[in-house]
Structures are given as C-alpha cells and as structure tokens.
Copies of this chain bind each other. A is one copy, B any other.
Amino acid sequence: MKKRPALTQLSELGEFKLIERLTGDLHMKQKSTIKGVGDDAAVIDYGDELIVLTTDMLVEGIHFNLVYTPLRHLGYKAVVVNLSDVYAMNAIPGQITVSIAVSAKFSVEGIEELYSGIKQACNNYEVDLVGGDTTSSMSGLIISITAAGTVPRDRIVYRNTARENDLICVSGDLGAAYIGLQLLEREKRIFEAGSGVQPELTGWEYVMERQLKPEAPRQIIKNLENTGILPTAMIDLSDGLSSDLLHICKQSQKGCRIYQDKIPIDMETVKLAGEMNIEPFLCALNGGEDYELLFTTPLEDHDKLAKLKDVHIIGHMTSPEAGTAFVTSEGSQIVLHAHGWDALI
C-alpha cells in the first residue's frame, strides 16, 4: 500500500514563504498587467477604457461546505462568481486579487489545491492574479476576491436602463445549481446518518457541476457583440431569476411580464426536481447561483436574438403600473416576489 505523503502545517512555512509557494509560478498574460504580486499594490494600464470593479466574499459554513466541495472546485468557483459580475457590466475581466483567511486545520497542500482551482480559472478566462492577502482565521476558510475589468465607454451596460417593451432574455438554463445543491445536501444527510450507503450521484453530473464548478458567461458577451446587440440593461443571475429581474425593474422603474413556458430548464434539472418533489420552475425562479446573464434588448433585436445559441427570450418589460408579472403555463398571473436563496429551503 502506498503511503500517503505527510501534509505540511501552515505554521511551518510562515506567510511570505506560503505566498511564494502559492504565487511563485504565476505568469502574467494580460498586456494591461504592469506589475502583479510582489509590491505594495498591483499596477494596471487600461489606457482610457472604463474600469469595472467588483468583489465577493465566500465563508465556510455559510457559502460552501467542504464535506462535498473539493477545494480545487471551490477556488475555481470563487473566481467565476466575480468574473460573472464583470461580464454583467458588458466588460472583460483582466485582473483579480485573492485574499484568504485559513484556520490551522488546513494544510499547505490544501491551500495549494484551492489555488490550483483559482489558477485554472485564471487560465481559462485569461485573467491575471495580481495580488492579495494570506492570513490566519479563528475558524474555517474565508475567501475574498476582487475582480477588475474594462469596457469601452460606449459599451457599458447598467441595471437601471431597461425600457418599456424591451425584450427580457436569459442565457443558458436555470435552476440546475440549486437542485444540484439539494442533491449534495440529501446525499450528505444519508451518508452522515451512518447507514453505510455510499452517495448516489451517478446520472446527475450536469446539475452537480453547475453547483460545484460553474462557468462565467464569457461566450454570451462575445456572441452579443459579434451579433451587434448592445443590451439596454443587464445583471448576472446569482440570487435567482425573480430577485435579479426585480433589481432591473426597481432600478429601471419599470414592470415586467415573463412566461413560465419560456424559462429554459435543463432536462436533468426537471427530472431531479421531480424526484425531490420540487417544482422545477421554482428552482429557476428562486434557486440562484446560475451565473447566467439576464438582460434586456430593444424589440428590434428580436431576429438577431433568435439566431443566438443559448439565449432565450422569456418576456418583456412593461410600464411600472403593469407590475411584475409571472404568467404560468395555465395562463394565470402571479406577482413576482424576491424569494432569493432561502425560499425553498
């Protein structure tokens, strides 16, 4: 039997050596990165484009559970959720900073696993890791990532600029990350009950990947530009379609009307939701963590949109007086509420 290699205690290294070990192999890929890790601050040259800046914090026990989340996937996801916000401004991410706080229960090798996921995301999305902070925590792991990106002045897209009669579109499919999480939680409970039953995850690879290792909507931003579509408003789907669409409505001072039949839901999501006695459309409306784009476009873009792969028109903006309406398959009308993440739990 092969002996498992001994793990390195964080205290054996100290902060500077740990940073060296984690970032020593970084190669900057962005022309705009003038200076990465190693000074008081990173230095970036964006010429005269607009800069977008966004940040997210992930806390163990709140946002992730290491019982079923591989550290490598977690690192990857932590980057992706930030890049998703950059794309939602119609911008292209260029750099990230990564701060982590870790308790003594983590080994150096564990942190390297986390960073291997972070670096893989940086490679896939051509983003440079240019700085950060590494410190101790009293309990568990905390990851705080900030992403910076750029966009030409005439192409920035906000949330508060949707107009009456604009088409409402989403990319990809919704609800999968949420139902994937329910599956992982269910199997964890069964496993922890000590029945000796191994988790049964076969056949649910898509929904699990959407939960554990999501991707950011880079391609859709490229496709929109190539097709000559500039959205009138845009947001990334992180809190759930209801909550995020209501942000656009509230900030744009408009109403909306979306149709249950138009909401894209993958067959695996539908099947698993059925097995778990959850309405699939509720996963899509309130689940969250989809990291797809929700955007509005002028009505005239209808034909261009029809040609786009992975983009679905789910309704249209209305006057504020018309309210925020969800039209069910049976034709009845429900007022959209922001349930967000906790609604179905």
Number of interface residues of A (CB under 8 A): 62
Residue A25, interface by CB 8 Å: no
Number of copies: 2
Residue A30, interface by CB 8 Å: no
Contact A57/B138 with A45-B51, A46-B46, A97-B146 known, Cβ cut-off 8 Å = no
Interface centre among A39, A147, A148, A149 (most CB of B within 10 A): A39
* CB proximity to B under 8 Å, residues A103-151: 130-133, 135-140, 142, 144, 146-149
User: Which secondary structure dominates where chain A touches chain B?
Assistant: strand
Which stretch (A58-66, A177-185, A325-333) binds chain B?
A58-66
Seen from chain A, the residues whose Cβ lies within 8 Å of a Cβ on chain B are 34-35, 38-48, 50-57, 59-63, 84-86, 88-89, 91, 95, 97, 99-101, 130-133, 135-140, 142, 144, 146-149, 153, 156, 158-160, 234-236, 251
Report whether B95 and A62 are in contact in the complex, using a CB–CB cutoff of 8 Å: no
24 pairs, A vs B, C-beta closer than 8 Å:
A34-B50, A35-B158, A38-B251, A39-B89, A39-B235, A40-B235, A41-B52, A41-B54, A41-B149, A43-B156, A44-B51, A44-B53, A51-B51, A53-B95, A54-B131, A55-B146, A57-B99, A57-B100, A59-B137, A62-B101, A62-B138, A99-B144, A101-B142, A144-B144
The smallest C-beta distance from A139 to any residue of chain B, in angstroms, reads 5
- Chain B neighbourhood of A99, CB < 8 A: 55-57, 144
Contact A60/B146 with A40-B159, A55-B99 known, Cβ cut-off 8 Å = no
The smallest C-beta distance from A217 to any residue of chain B, in angstroms, reads 11
Report whether A55 and B144 are in contact in the complex, using a CB–CB cutoff of 8 Å: yes
Report whether A88 and B138 are in contact in the complex, using a CB–CB cutoff of 8 Å: no
Report whether A43 and B51 are in contact in the complex, using a CB–CB cutoff of 8 Å: yes
Query: Apart from A38-B251, A43-B156, what are 7 other A-B pairs with CB-CB below 8 Å?
Result: A38-B160, A39-B160, A40-B85, A40-B235, A45-B153, A57-B135, A142-B144
